[in-house]
Amino acid sequence: MNALFFNQPVGKEVTVDLDVWFWSFIRPYDEVPDGCKPGFTLSSIRKRLERLEDKVGLRIKTYYRRSSNGHVHVKIVFKNEIAVLDAFMIRAWMLDDKQRLELDLARYLITGSLHEMNRCFDEKATDTGGVKQSGPWIDIDTDRKDFTGEIREDFEDHLKQFQEQQIGQTQL
């Protein structure tokens, strides 16, 4: 068999962008209203991570955070570098944003470059000239009830902004 593409190392980190609201992601199952599907949650991502760890035979250091748009980023850190094909499979397994994944696959197919791939931005510009910041990275084993310091402050600020936005939308 001849490989068509070079399976180069991508580094030690894989990032995943989940299109789910951060407040919903960290919500325990017992807070999910009756009749609502919980969607992607911290618990469901932990289960996927456990299956991945079983498959590769090692414990993988993993973190999550609030993205600048109020969604969720996940960062998976390996002890050694991994290959780009492995990174793509891991991103797919961990439910990475499908459009982000497709664009990175196409970019790698055409350019063979890792330059613009596997990115989760720490900040983004707003339409009004401001900057939205992502939250701090949180160990995957940390539940909302265990948030302290900067993590708790960031979550409370985010939740307040989200609630104000929801109220503003219902008044339209």
Asked if residues 26 and 99 have their Cβ atoms less than 8 Å apart, the reply is no
Total domains present in the chain? 1
User: Does 4 map to a domain?
Assistant: no
- Maximum separation of any 2 CA atoms in the chain, in Å: 62
- What does the pLDDT read at residue 32? 75
Tens-place pLDDT, residues 28-44 = 877 777 777 777 899 99
Give the count of beta carbons closer than 10 Å to the beta carbon of residue 103: 13
CA–CA dist 20, 97 (Å, integer): 10
pTM of the model: 0.87
Residue with tokens 């030690």: 12
User: Does 36 map to a domain?
Assistant: yes
Tens-place pLDDT, residues 121-151 = 776 777 777 888 999 999 999 999 999 999 9
Residue 22 sits in which domain range?
Answer: 9-170
User: Does 19 map to a domain?
Assistant: yes
Helix (H, G, I), strand (E, B) or coil at 15: strand
User: Does 164 map to a domain?
Assistant: yes
Identity of residue 22: F
Tens-place pLDDT, residues 61-109 = 999 999 998 999 999 999 999 999 999 999 999 999 999 999 999 988 8
Which letter, b or e, does each residue of 149-168 get, where b requires 16 or more Cβ atoms within 10 Å of its Cβ?
Answer: eebeebbeebeeeeeeeeee
Mean pLDDT of 17-34: 86
User: Does 151 map to a domain?
Assistant: yes
User: Does 28 map to a domain?
Assistant: yes
